[in-house]
Amino acid sequence: MTKKKPLVIVTRKLPEAIETRMMELFDARLNIDDVPMSKPELIEAVKQADVLVPTVTDRIDSAVLAHAGPNLRLIANFGTGVDHVDLQTARSRGITVTNTPDVLTEDTADMTMALILAVSRRVAEGERMIRSGEWTGWAPTSMLGHRIWGKRLGIVGMGRIGRALARRAKGFGLSVHYHNRRRVHPDTEGELDATWWESLDQMLAHVDIVSVNCPHTPATYHLLSARRLKLMQPHAILVNTARGEIVDEPALTRMLADREIAGAGLDVFEHEPAVNPKLLELQNAVLLPHMGSATIEGRVDMGEKVLINIKTFVDGHTPPDRVIEGLL
């Protein structure tokens, strides 16, 4: 007798190769139109599914999970961050949650480095000048930015991405500083030539570039508050490729407008996809549409991890990327 395939509901369109494999392995219900599910649609999905495959655009909160059917036993998240999933409620209902760690590390670190360069060297402003037809030719004092060689980089969160960024930063002649919940191993510090600051406040006041690379949790909401942002030096820049909620966006916008800090490179926003209209007006802000991990290779690797997590779970084993609450 053929074993019944589990019903797997996927909330967004995934790479074609991953969707094909989903259809082969499971009773998969795909989102062909790639339109984000509404809350009622998510509720209907958790009522029916054996496995839900959401993304960062889906809010799987307690109100949604309250409607979960008896068959829903796995939420196989397509992405590393799981701040959009109520882990406590999932656990209380016996639902396992998995994610896709490691595969996006290098891609996100690349984009973080790109934003550091773009803001420091005014790349986006120069590109806009060319397209607008305002460029009249080279001049000794035109479009002057700042070199990054010899500057101090302060990394907020020395996890996988933070360490990958630190390796890149060394190659660009940056001095690496970091703040983390726990100090990294001395061998790692030595390899990266990194200086640990127990106090985030003190680090912010002493570096030239701040990069946000920690996960969004209740403890890191507005970690970079208005008070902490004011500790940064006027020539300093801020780059965020983690989560928009970690930074007090209205405070940052005001400081950029008043030139209390020199610039910012943002790939994430506090209320995305909505972007503060005042941010859009600022020349000293480089704004990207949450594309830090957007590589073909990365998305396929994410999908492969989702498939492995589902297949392992369905076969009765603990999935390799099970999320344990409190250990993010």
**Pick the catalytic residue: 19, 191, 272, 304?**
272
Distance CA 48, CA 68 (A): 8
CB of 259 closer than 8 Å to CB of 232? no
**Pick the catalytic residue: 67, 121, 290, 322?**
290
Class for the domain spanning 105-287: alpha beta
Domain with CATH 3.40.50.720 in the chain: 7-103+296-314, 105-287
Q: CATH fold of 7-103+296-314, please?
A: Rossmann fold (3.40.50)
Nearby residues of 133 by Cβ (< 8 Å), 6 or more positions away: none
Neighbours of 14 (CB within 10 A): 25
Q: Is 285 in a helix, a strand, or coil?
A: strand
Catalytic residue check, 189:
no
Catalytic residue check, 243:
yes
pLDDT, tens only, 73-132: 999 999 998 999 999 999 999 999 999 999 999 999 999 999 999 999 999 999 999 999
pLDDT, tens only, 185-240: 999 999 999 999 999 999 999 999 999 999 999 999 999 999 999 999 999 999 99
Q: List C-alpha distances in Å: 193 to 178, 184, 190, 285, 319.
A: 11, 12, 5, 30, 35
**Pick the catalytic residue: 243, 245, 249, 299?**
243
Catalytic residue check, 290:
yes
